[in-house]
Amino acid sequence: MSRIAVLIVAAGKGERTGRTGPKQYEPLGGLPMLRRTADAFHGWPVRVVIGPGQDALYRTAMGENALPPVAGGTRRQDSVRLGLEALVTDAPDFVLIHDAARPLVSRAIIERVIAALEAGAAGAVPMLAVADTLRRQEDGQWVTVPREGLWRAQTPQGFRFADILKAHRDHQAADATDDVAIAGLAGLAVEAVAGEEDNLKVTTEKDFALAERLLGGETRSAMGYDAHRFTEGDHVWLCGVKLPHDHGLEGHSDADAGLHALTDAILGCISAGDIGQHFPPTDDRWKGAPSWKFLDHAHRLVRQKGGAVLHCDVTLICERPKIGPHREAMRARIAEILSLDIDRVSVKATTTEGMGYTGRREGLAAQAVATVSLPSRCEAVGHR
């Protein structure tokens, strides 16, 4: 039986908008994306090439039993070459080189690549035909590029180990976006095998959402409610925005009932208790605290489960202050805290027609509903 090694390239620094770290370590379906990608190759030895300063992220993502990572280089091809060099001491017959950003690679693709190599191909690459019409702009005109003969290359790209190692060593000066390009420079004949649409390269927020959907998962909604009493003062905080008013709001924190209701709604989606449990009013740390911190905390808990907030809707209930002039600022502030598009944030206002405590202007209230997507494998989150 041929000896096969897997090399996963995870050295990218690519960060997701509003996120804290490189995307390959971000959760996908409850697991760091890199871990999912590596798990797809279960049964073969997997070496991972990582970027500078990513050792701790790697350990957390992969667990203590993973093989040690390989330090990558400046360009992707440098990282691949360094990864191949790390395999030399125990050289395999074949190596499968795969992008960390393709976590949905199927067993079937992997086996097709291996089968082509075992049948004698020097290299094998999963490819997909181009379905969209392709155009190029020339002198202000859109010129149609014939699709015939055009293919999209995916990974894993498999090669005879000795051949691809030599190709990378010999062609370091070239600029190549994948290993088929390097193989081509070395004159290696690379065979195409069938790729799959689901083997997408996860790059943008939309890709993450699509990958979550392909993995399966669930959508949950929950509500939150809060009320605060008016007191002396000259402003109130509502939905993260400071509004001038002839009263203030009484509360341990900044008394932002809008953000409190929303925080509770998000906590409700993951059955994580309520805001009072996470930020007890008896704890002096939260005295006068800005409530965006509470919302941010709830959002982090969702992300730790591999989930995402999809939409939120806040209703403010008061006679005064007037909400209308501040509504767009409130939507923008919530969108900012939750890293959401503003069209996923709704802020509404109503009065109670003079009835009840809000009608008597003793205080104001807020209701919120949040919708959250969660991966099907929430239980896998504990180790993070």
To the nearest whole angstrom, how small is the minimum distance from the Cβ of residue 251 to Mg ion? 6
To the nearest whole angstrom, how small is the minimum distance from the Cβ of residue 320 to Mg ion? 19
Residues 6+ apart with CB under 8 A from 124: 112, 113, 114, 116, 117, 157, 158, 159, 190, 191, 192, 193
Instruction: Determine the Cα–Cα distance for residues 231 and 290; give it in Å rounded to an integer.
Output: 18
| Listed ranges 73-81, 154-162, 222-230, 325-333: which one lies at the site for Mg ion (CB under 5 A) | 222-230
Report how far apart the first and last C-alpha atoms of the chain are (Å, whole number): 37
Instruction: Determine the Cα–Cα distance for residues 32 and 28; give it in Å rounded to an integer.
Output: 6
| Listed ranges 85-93, 122-130, 253-261, 359-367: which one lies at the site for Mg ion (CB under 5 A) | 253-261
To the nearest whole angstrom, how small is the minimum distance from the Cβ of residue 226 to Mg ion? 4
Size of residue set near Mg ion by CB under 5 A: 2
| Listed ranges 58-66, 221-229, 339-347, 376-384: which one lies at the site for Mg ion (CB under 5 A) | 221-229
The answer to whether 152 touches 130, Cβ cutoff 8 Å, is: yes
Which residues partner with 369 through β-bridges? 223, 313
Strands 363-375 and 308-317 come out as antiparallel
Using the minimum distance from each CB to Mg ion, give the nearer residue, 18 or 281: 281
Tokens representing 172 are 């370091």
Interacting residue with Mg ion among 99, 178, 179, 226 (CB under 5 A): 226
To the nearest whole angstrom, how small is the minimum distance from the Cβ of residue 368 to Mg ion? 12
Using the minimum distance from each CB to Mg ion, give the nearer residue, 123 or 363: 363
| Listed ranges 82-90, 148-156, 219-227, 305-313: which one lies at the site for Mg ion (CB under 5 A) | 219-227
Backbone angles phi, psi at 340, to 5 degrees: -115, 155
Using the minimum distance from each CB to Mg ion, give the nearer residue, 80 or 239: 239
> By rule CB under 5 A, what string of x and - marks binding of each residue 171-210 to Mg ion?
----------------------------------------
Q: Does 260 bind Mg ion (CB under 5 A)?
A: yes
To the nearest whole angstrom, how small is the minimum distance from the Cβ of residue 295 to Mg ion? 12
To the nearest whole angstrom, how small is the minimum distance from the Cβ of residue 348 to Mg ion? 19
Tokens representing 155 are 């990974």
The answer to whether 375 touches 28, Cβ cutoff 8 Å, is: yes
Backbone angles phi, psi at 275, to 5 degrees: -60, -35
The answer to whether 109 touches 125, Cβ cutoff 8 Å, is: no
Using the minimum distance from each CB to Mg ion, give the nearer residue, 160 or 260: 260
Report the site for Mg ion in 153-172 (rule: CB under 5 A).
Answer: none
Helix (H, G, I), strand (E, B) or coil at 309: strand
Instruction: Determine the Cα–Cα distance for residues 20 and 360; give it in Å rounded to an integer.
Output: 45
Using the minimum distance from each CB to Mg ion, give the nearer residue, 32 or 248: 248
Helix (H, G, I), strand (E, B) or coil at 55: helix
Residues 6+ apart with CB under 8 A from 367: 223, 224, 225, 261, 314, 315, 317
Using the minimum distance from each CB to Mg ion, give the nearer residue, 27 or 321: 321
| Listed ranges 117-125, 226-234, 317-325, 356-364: which one lies at the site for Mg ion (CB under 5 A) | 226-234
Using the minimum distance from each CB to Mg ion, give the nearer residue, 61 or 275: 275
The answer to whether 154 touches 98, Cβ cutoff 8 Å, is: no
Question: What one-letter code names the amino acid at 6?
Answer: V
To the nearest whole angstrom, how small is the minimum distance from the Cβ of residue 304 to Mg ion? 24
| Listed ranges 4-12, 207-215, 218-226, 299-307: which one lies at the site for Mg ion (CB under 5 A) | 218-226
To the nearest whole angstrom, how small is the minimum distance from the Cβ of residue 291 to Mg ion? 8
Using the minimum distance from each CB to Mg ion, give the nearer residue, 99 or 226: 226
Using the minimum distance from each CB to Mg ion, give the nearer residue, 260 or 305: 260
To the nearest whole angstrom, how small is the minimum distance from the Cβ of residue 254 to Mg ion? 9
For 210-279, the DSSP string reads: HHHHHH-EEEEEEEEEEEEEEES-SEEEETTEEEE-SSEE--SS---HHHHHHHHHHHHHTT---HHHHS
Ranked by CB distance to Mg ion, the top (closest) residue is: 260
To the nearest whole angstrom, how small is the minimum distance from the Cβ of residue 227 to Mg ion? 7
Using the minimum distance from each CB to Mg ion, give the nearer residue, 198 or 274: 274
Query: Would you tell me which residues interact with Mg ion (CB under 5 A)?
Result: 226, 260
